[in-house]
Amino acid sequence: MRLISAWIPAICAIAIIVWESTERFSSANTSAPLRHLWELWAGPVSDQVWLLIHHHIRKAGHVLGYGLLSGFIFRAWFLTINLASALRVLAWQVSTVMALACTLIIATADEVHQRFLISRSSSPRDVAIDMAGALTAQLLIATFILLYSQPRQQALRPQTSPES
């Protein structure tokens, strides 16, 4: 049961990406609602300015969404390795590689899928943006692990006296 629960967040994130990859979330369909929210928050903007803002919002969504996906996949692999493997010493490194590989596969599949939708576009640049989000998430996770595992490791080491 713990193994299944380890993968539920990653599976939910993949399901959200699949859902957002439909025509319902094309640029033409997200522009008006996002513009309404933007103008409530920041005030009116011209059509020309809105096109640029909308583009950046959508690309930021790629970075955030795939960063979260990568983090959830990392968690799933990390827990899986810790529950079922002798690779515990390398758990976070293996989990990082697997999270990046899985994210790349999902991002590529998403772009290939969008190529067959009339209202969507497909671009290798979007895969690169997705992977930038994934890599950022993995760097944050690695930083957190390295910063917070140091005190625990030092506390577990036997203390030696200065005379030794």
DSSP string computed for 66-119: HHHHHHHHHHHHHHHHHHH-S-GGGHHHHHHHHHHHHHHHHHHHHHHHHHT-TT
Element (H, E) at 85: none
Residue 81 lies in a domain: yes
Residue 88 lies in a domain: yes
Residue 163 lies in a domain: no
Structure tokens at 19: 């859902």
Structural domain count, the chain: 1
Residue 164 lies in a domain: no
CA gap 58, 31 in Å, rounded: 10
| pLDDT tens, position by position, 87-113 | 666 888 999 999 999 999 999 999 999
Residue 97 lies in a domain: yes
Residue 157 lies in a domain: no
Assign 161 a pLDDT band (cuts: 50, 70, 90): low
Residue 24 lies in a domain: yes
- Other CB atoms within 10 Å distance of the CB of residue 44: 9
Full-model pTM: 0.83
pLDDT of residue 54: 96
- Give the structural domain span for 22: 2-149
Q: Higher model confidence: residue 4 or residue 150? A: 4
Q: CB of 85 within 8 A of CB of 93?
A: no
Residue 132 lies in a domain: yes
